[in-house]
Amino acid sequence: MLLPNNNEIDVDLLSKKIDVIKSRGASNAHITDEGNILSADVDEKEDKNQISESAQTADLIPETFSDRVRLLFSKGISIRRRISLIPVIGSVLIWATSIFRLNSIRHKIALDFDSLRLENQRLQDQIHQNQCVLKDQLLQIENQLRNRHARISAIESLSLQTRVQGLESFSQQVNSGNIERDNRIANLVREIRQIGTQTAPISAHPVSDAKLPRPPEHSNEVVVPGLDGFYLEFEDNFRGTSEDISARLEVYLPYLLQFSNDATATVIDIGCGRGEWLKLLRKNSIQAVGIDMNSAMVDACVEQGLSAQCLDAIHYLRQQPESSLAAITGFHIIEHLPFKVLLSLFDAALRALRPDGVIIFETPNPENLSVGACNFYFDPTHLNPIVPAVAQFMAKQRGFAKAEILRLHPYPDHFKLVEDSELAKRLNAALYGPQDFAVIAWKTNAN
């Protein structure tokens, strides 16, 4: 039904609405002023013939009152159509129903708009939150870059010495990871050595020189009267004064100062000689005992109030409680020993040292050609020169966790060639380099 005041009719829109009505099989359609169809409800319980008949009846527009009454009570039409046939009241009810439905539609649309508005607000909040997170991340990146630039600037402003110290500290941190490995290897070596000792013990042959073990009585070696006194006079003539020897030995104090004023820490000096090292240790409050097979040397130490005994060094070390000694030293001793005795000395020292213990053995350096070819043989009791790398290998091989070589006492500069050529540098290194070296080894690698 068209509203009376609707003068302009859109023919195309009306045709589309008619097609929609036909496709739905509706019994009646009511067109509002907005151009929408108020579709009538079709009773689904009626059969198809009744629906067809009602559709045909609905298309008729009654002209008289009797036709309206007849159509009102006919079958197959919807309730909405029946109400529309009632004069005046029907039209009012239809309009009221349309207005009510319009309000419900508006209410639904308002609810939909509220839901969309809430969803939009939620999306806006999420976008704002993401923006805040990105902003914080950008600030963190900027701060990190700023800190890195500051650190680079600080490093560039440091002196060369400070940079070198920093690199050394970093190197120590990197090398600290090797400490545990060195200790584990040393422990395994000791276990293997102990097993080997139990199955095939190494016998230590007595030393035949004047400073260490005397030969047994059944040996065929010639006994020379006054040999002990000979060696004392020999050192006075060729080794240097006691003051010179003491000055040279001071280089080893840093390795033992940790035992200063420690009543439980004892240092054993093998081949103590005239006692220069013992006096230096006493001066620094380090408890020490000298061991020497030369009775004249021991007497010279005792006269100075030093603790010294005339004993076989290896036998003495084997008699000490295991892991009881702080350090074992020997200056110009190991070059007097046969190879097997030297290994036995390393083994006995390792057993007697406590975990933080250290050995220091100084010997002539054959890397210096003058020493290896001539000066080494000044002492007639020297047997064989020991190469520094071999001495370091011996310590590690016998079970010490850490070993290093300290090269000492190069010739004074006035002996060297005053040239800047490569040949002069090589000759100075070969002929006038360090005359002595020390192998320093720790039972446990602690630093």
Tell me the three state secondary structure of residue 297: helix
For residue 60, what is the DSSP state?
A: -
- Band (13; pLDDT cuts 50, 70, 90): low
User: pLDDT per residue over 294-346, tens digit each?
Assistant: 888 899 999 999 999 999 999 999 999 999 999 999 999 999 999 999 999 99
What's the Rg (C-alpha) of the chain? 56
d(CA 424, CA 432): 11
Q: Specify the range with the lowest mean pLDDT, choosing from 103-112, 258-267, 361-370.
A: 103-112
pTM: 0.55
Tally of CA atoms within 13 A in the half-sphere of 213 that contains its CB: 20
d(CA 286, CA 83): 125
Task: Please give the structure tokens belonging to residue 438.
Answer: 């020390």
Residue 338: exposure state from Cβ atoms within 10 A (0-12, 13-18, ≥19): middle
d(CA 277, CA 291): 12
Structural domains in the chain, CATH included, are 11-87 (no CATH), 202-442 (3.40.50.150)
Give the rounded distance of the alpha carbon of 181 from its chain centre: 15
Task: Work out the average pLDDT over 205-219.
Answer: 43
- pLDDT score for 174: 58
User: pLDDT per residue over 134-164, tens digit each?
Assistant: 888 888 898 888 888 888 877 767 666 666 6
- Band (38; pLDDT cuts 50, 70, 90): very low
Task: Please give the structure tokens belonging to residue 126.
Answer: 């999420």
What is the total residue count of the chain? 447
Share of the chain above pLDDT 70, in %: 65
Q: Considering Cα of 316, then 318, then 319, then 322, what sign does the dihedral take?
A: positive
Residue 356: exposure state from Cβ atoms within 10 A (0-12, 13-18, ≥19): middle
- pLDDT score for 107: 82
Residue 327: exposure state from Cβ atoms within 10 A (0-12, 13-18, ≥19): buried
Q: Residue 120, Cβ neighbours under 10 Å: how many? A: 10
Tell me the three state secondary structure of residue 325: strand
Tell me the three state secondary structure of residue 321: coil
Tally of CA atoms within 13 A in the half-sphere of 90 that contains its CB: 12
- pLDDT score for 419: 85
Task: Please give the structure tokens belonging to residue 183.
Answer: 């200790």
User: pLDDT per residue over 60-97, tens digit each?
Assistant: 456 566 666 666 667 767 776 767 667 667 677 777 77
Task: Please give the structure tokens belonging to residue 152.
Answer: 């680079």
Q: Residue 190, Cβ neighbours under 10 Å: how many? A: 18
Q: Which of 165-169, 177-181, 300-304 has the highest mean pLDDT?
A: 300-304
* Of 441 and 13, more confident: 441
- pLDDT score for 171: 60
